[in-house]
Structure 1
């Protein structure tokens, strides 16, 4: 016991939190059984207490829609928004849902369920994730072009180039966090890039911050990681070859994560322990 405590102290002194002290685990709560087809992204919204799920369609680049789930896994509306073009990342700001939809950004009023804007992104090939900062500026990744775009005051412009295989985005405490291939970047207001951590087995997909400063990261082929506040990576699920783990959602009050399984056609809720 004394040796374990000593090792923990040494790791803490050198800025590394021990795996046995910090390791997270997942306990399955529920899984949807019908009404969900190729889910790519899940967004939990506290104000409405609903899960918004992007369904990209069988082709991957056409026939998409947004479904709504209740927190217990009940599919409230499998066809809430239809006629989309393989929607992926989702973000909500002041009652507006922003959707990354291959080559354009779709804006939906979540109260009326109306599409209020469709903004083409010139030159875009594969828009993937989306996040919004505190002032309402929207950031969108294009994974195949290695670019991050910015939507400000109704105008889309290039924000940052040469971000390799960029996918998951999250605005967090003044910085834009990005999953760039197998690396986790932090981008400040001056566009200075810091590699926060790296070493994921596959390219990152979903990214969610935890209240204690840690993060959760998913990789589409079937990996879920817990990343500590100082960048130590712990793999907490590996289901590669069995199902996908795409762009996760997170309910911080309940401590529950929601995993879209993509080709397995379901959403799974796990209690984070």
Structure 2
């Protein structure tokens, strides 16, 4: 009986830990228009895209050390940089009509034009090294392969894609919600979608629309974490489509980053110009 009691106690403790409320541990300030953040474990460095203000060319990508202190600006003169993905020593950033490629070893910046793009957003990289970037205004996903950008999927069924991430070879999409009038603030809600790269078949993870979705990540339990920019809500979404609220924040929760090793969630808040860091994201 004593062993049984100990087992039950341990199980309850583990369950309580797993369901612990997210705790805000850090606010990283002075990041104007912060939209996306990634971490390079080999350099112990964070990279953050800053949309900054309303002036043309005031956007940038900056580097922070592991203590969130500013190191350097790795790219400047950008229009409206958003999602970031990393492959080795190269950063890829969605920036309006261009997919930006930043070589961290040399400092070289290359702009790849995406024909007819209007509002390039998040970036994801497949296991072959091909780069995908969403266009939230035209409901298109572009692909960079062999140094050439082409239209990969052009479909309203993408519901104006925003966040992108690859999981087990499948592309998961956080959709903003379909609109074609240039007014995203009044757009209907979008869903979490999945795209089969081989067939390009689009299927819905969440049966009902969830929100004006922005960032998408996968947690240590293989569930999705999805942010809603307009409502300021961060959801946990299972692969079967069940959702629950993790965080209720002000409007502007952007392209989130999740660390499975530390159970931390980084939430860029563009309107406040900061990144919020939460722990106990153990789902």
TM-score (norm 2): 0.82
Closer, same or farther: CA 62–82 of 1 in aligned 2, 3 Å: closer
Inter-partner Cα distance in structure 2 for 1:264 and 1:60? 18
Q: CA RMSD in A?
A: 2.1
Aligned match for 1:29, one of 15, 25, 32: 25
Q: CA deviation at 1:83?
A: 1.1
2:171 alignment partner in structure 1: 176
* 1:50 aligned onto 2:45: yes
SS of the aligned residue for 2:205 comes to strand
Aligned match for 1:218, one of 214, 222, 227: 227
Aligned match for 2:78, one of 84, 87, 90: 84
Segments of 5+ residues of structure 1 without an aligned counterpart are 1-19
CA contact (8 A) 1:88 1:129 kept: yes
1:230 alignment partner in structure 2: 240
Inter-partner Cα distance in structure 2 for 1:223 and 1:61? 30
CA contact (8 A) 1:23 1:226 kept: no
Aligned match for 1:74, one of 69, 72, 76: 69
Q: CA deviation at 1:228?
A: 2.3
1:64 alignment partner in structure 2: 59
1:94 alignment partner in structure 2: 88
CA contact (8 A) 2:191 2:210 kept: no
Structure 1, residues 35-80: CA drift from partner, whole Å, max 9, x if none? x111011112222222111001212864200011223322333x33
Aligned match for 1:140, one of 133, 144, 148: 133
1:12 alignment partner in structure 2: none
Judge which range, 160-169 or 196-205, deviates more.
196-205
Inter-partner Cα distance in structure 2 for 1:263 and 1:44? 22
Equivalenced residue count is: 250
Inter-partner Cα distance in structure 1 for 2:207 and 2:55? 28
2:193 alignment partner in structure 1: 185
Inter-partner Cα distance in structure 2 for 1:216 and 1:169? 12
Q: CA deviation at 1:236?
A: 1.3
Closer, same or farther: CA 236–125 of 1 in aligned 2, 3 Å: same
Closer, same or farther: CA 60–39 of 1 in aligned 2, 3 Å: farther
Segments of 5+ residues of structure 2 without an aligned counterpart are 1-15, 178-189
CA contact (8 A) 1:204 1:220 kept: yes
1:268 alignment partner in structure 2: 276
CA contact (8 A) 1:216 1:224 kept: yes
Q: CA deviation at 1:238?
A: 1.5
SS of the aligned residue for 1:48 comes to coil
Judge which range, 118-127 or 21-30, deviates more.
21-30
Inter-partner Cα distance in structure 1 for 2:201 and 2:241? 18
Q: CA deviation at 1:208?
A: 0.4
